[in-house]
Structure formats: C-alpha cells, structure tokens
Amino acid sequence: MAIVTFYEKPGCQGNLRQKKLLAAAGHTVRARNLKTETWSADRLLAFIGKLEIGEWFNRNAPALKSGDIVPENLGFEEVLHLLLDNPLLIRRPLMEVEKVTERGTRIERRVGFDYAAVDAWIGLNNVALPDGDGEACAHGAEGHDSCGRAAYEKPADKDEESRHGRCGAH
C-alpha cells in the first residue's frame, strides 16, 4: 500500500471523507495543511502543470461560484500568483506518492479526487464508494454560500474564523 502525502484544508468534510477512503483501502495518509504549506511556483506546478488552467481551481470556492474569479478569463501568470497567494483556491486534495520501480524511486502527484483516477493510480481496493462526485462539497450545493465570505478574504477576527473554519471558504 502507498504512503500518501495529502494536502488538505483542515476541517474540510470532503477532504476528511477522501482520507477515510484512502485509509480504508489500506493506504497510510500523511495530512498536510494546504493553507500553511510553503508553496513556490515550481512546487505547485509539479501538481497542476499538466492540467488545463481551469482544472487548477477549487470549483467549490465561493469566489468561483459567485463569478468573482473566472479562471478561463485569466492568464497563466495571474492565475499562478492568485493560487500562491490564496491556497484555498487550489483544487484539492493535492496528493503525492513515492513509487519504487526497477529504475529507482519517483514521486507521482495528483490533483483532485476522482474515484476512478485514484483507483487506477494507487488502488481503492474495492472500498465502498459514496455516490456522486469525489470532490463535491460535503455541505451540498449551497453550503459555502451560506457564510457569505469569499475564499480569498481573511476573517475579521478569530471568532469568525472559528465559526466558519469548517466551511471550506476560509
């Protein structure tokens, strides 16, 4: 089984569901905080660089859902800076696995949690999968909108952070 470094937003119920699936499949999950991790352009691009720019984003982020940010209307450099400045806009989870082959060790990286893609990559080993999209917000279609805060805004105070800390918008 694989050791998966799993970059998440702590408290995100969707990421919790994904980590539980990986653990149930026999993998070891090493969770890392996406918000506090030190990201450089090169490091982030190692995960997302082969994808279309629109696939780099967390489509559940309030700023995207509201239309405040439209990735397809932005240039490469602008998008990269936006993601580095606002990690909660990054599609998650980001995952990496060290694979040992006859040719040596290599690190493989993935973005998002498409069940079929993760199963083909490291195996979900016949674990019962929830219905629907593996990346869908656990709060439902309106869950994030209820807090009224954009993903890139900082909370006004610590109490606000604790009230909204699990909604995925902060």
For the stretch 150-168, pLDDT in tens is: 443 444 444 434 444 444 4
| Beta-carbon contacts of residue 32 (< 8 Å; ≥ 6 apart) | 5, 6, 7, 8
Specify the pLDDT at position 135. 78
The predicted model scores a pTM of 0.79
Quick one: fold of 3-164? Glutaredoxin (3.40.30)
3-state secondary structure of 56: helix
- Averaged pLDDT, 107-120: 96
Give the residue numbers marked as catalytic. 12
Measure the CA–CA gap between 55 and 76, rounded to whole angstroms.
Answer: 12
Specify the pLDDT at position 73. 95
Q: Quick one: pLDDT band at residue 100, thresholds 50, 70, 90?
A: confident
Q: Quick one: pLDDT band at residue 1, thresholds 50, 70, 90?
A: confident
Listed in sequence order, the DSSP H helices in 49-144 are 62-65, 76-85, 115-122
**Interval 129-146: pLDDT, tens:** 887 777 766 655 555 444
**Interval 7-18: pLDDT, tens:** 999 999 999 999
Specify the pLDDT at position 132. 72
